[in-house]
Amino acid sequence: MIEQPTAHRRLRIFFIAQRVPFPPDRGDKITTCNEVRHLAQQHEVHVFCTADGVEDMANVAGLREIVASVTAVLVNARMGKPRALMALLTGRAISEAMIDEPALHAALRKAKAEMPPDLVFVYSSNTAQYAAIFAGTPRIMQFADLDSIKWERYAAESRPPMSWIYAIEARRTRRLEHDVAHAYQHSLVCTDNERRDFERLIPGATVSTAGNGVDLDYFRSEGAEKTAGRLIFTGVMDYLPNVDAVSWFARDILPLVQREIPAAHFIICGSKPSPAVQALAALPGVTVTGRVPDVRPFLDSAEVFVGPLRIARGIQNKVLEAMAMGLPVVASEQVWRGAAIPKGEGIEAADDAAGFAAHVIALLRDDAYRARMGTAGRRAVERDYTWAAQLRTLDRVVAEAVA
């Protein structure tokens, strides 16, 4: 086995993120929190970030226990519409303009003068604006996904005028991604599929795959009694791909399941349910929980996790967590491809309502099959998705960037 290079000297790292990278309770924070915690064990890490609300700002206290310092600036919600309009008029990506906070730019200029970093690590292309002043410093970009592809999907799934706006955002974000990737020493993406997209769309830039992991000690079944027929989905429920997923499942798939298994019921578990998600609670056998203090008891009491995302990129943390809890998963083909786990090893997939329902029905009807799939899923994430394995790539990229 060839040893990967590591950074032997202690570095001063500025970690710039679009949300407070703590706690690991949603997709981007699961990644950034684990990366920050890992880097801080070896290096002097200073976090600079925007906060997307008062609740997010409250997370700073916990983060300060991990890193050398935290500078967080609350995004001014009242400036959202003016910033979006100005971006449309000036040719800038709206997602970049929405988090353009002068106070964070000023804090980074001051920090650069007082304690210049050895490395700048940036999460998400819309946050790259804050690292523009560090052109002479090694920089690494972690693309959450290639957001330009996400905006293209939004445009295809929406009606005018939003489809027009999403299409414009896709073009402008693609240009931003290209410029950032070629200006930085290294880029990171989450899956091999994304790396192939990156190499096709942004040729000539250096890129590596650093996948997501799952905390296998935290996400472990306590052996709670299962509730017959219970199906579950977890996630932030004002996020468009999640809203689309649960709406499709509740309206088109669940009734097919209930024809065969009347006791089947669907739990939508996650914070910030949009009005469209709240309306689903009026359907037979659908419960919308809103934010819960701990998602694990809800996962532990369910029989099947469903991941019917039709607009999906990268690895879905929610799927890894469910599999770590020993839950069999039925997902869309896109979600399955992101997980890169063979079908039958804890996960099945379909893109049509009838096929999706058939997998769910088979799992609900057969206790032995469901148990085998749950065990296989746990084994798969233990094999492929430990954080220790994923973060070795991060160490190598850091070492190469500062070499």
What's the residue count for the chain?
403
Burial group, residue 170, by CB count within 10 angstroms (0-12, 13-18, 19+): buried
Asked if 58 and 192 sit in the same domain, the reply is: yes
Residue with tokens 């206290």: 61
Q: Is residue 203 within 8 Å of residue 275, measured between CB atoms?
A: no
* Structure confidence by residue, pLDDT tens digits, 137-149: 999 999 978 899 9
Per-10-residue mean pLDDT, the chain, length 403: 53 98 91 96 98 96 98 96 96 97 98 98 97 97 90 92 96 97 96 91 94 92 96 96 97 98 98 97 98 96 97 85 98 90 96 98 98 97 90 95 93
Asked if 314 and 398 sit in the same domain, the reply is: no
Asked if 395 and 337 sit in the same domain, the reply is: no
Provide the b/e sequence for 245-271 (b: ≥16 CB within 10 Å).
bbbbbbeebbebbbeebeebbbbbbbb
- Quote the CA–CA distance of 110 and 102 in Å, as a whole number: 12
Phi, psi of 207 (to 5 degrees): -145, 145
Asked if 205 and 275 sit in the same domain, the reply is: no
Domain count, the chain: 2
Asked if 274 and 152 sit in the same domain, the reply is: no
Q: Which domain holds residue 197?
A: 12-213+386-402
Q: Is residue 269 within 8 Å of residue 298, measured between CB atoms?
A: yes
Q: Coil, strand, or helix at residue 217?
A: coil
- Quote the CA–CA distance of 403 and 297 in Å, as a whole number: 46
Asked if 198 and 267 sit in the same domain, the reply is: no
Strands (E), 308-349: 329-331, 347-349
CATH of the domain at 240: 3.40.50.2000
* Structure confidence by residue, pLDDT tens digits, 259-279: 999 999 999 999 999 999 999
Q: What secondary structure letter does DSSP report for 227?
A: P
Average pLDDT, the chain: 94
Asked if 311 and 273 sit in the same domain, the reply is: yes
Asked if 186 and 282 sit in the same domain, the reply is: no
Max distance between CA atoms of the chain, in angstroms, equals 67
Query: In this structure, which amino acid lies at residue 318?
Result: K
Indicate the pTM of the whole model. 0.89
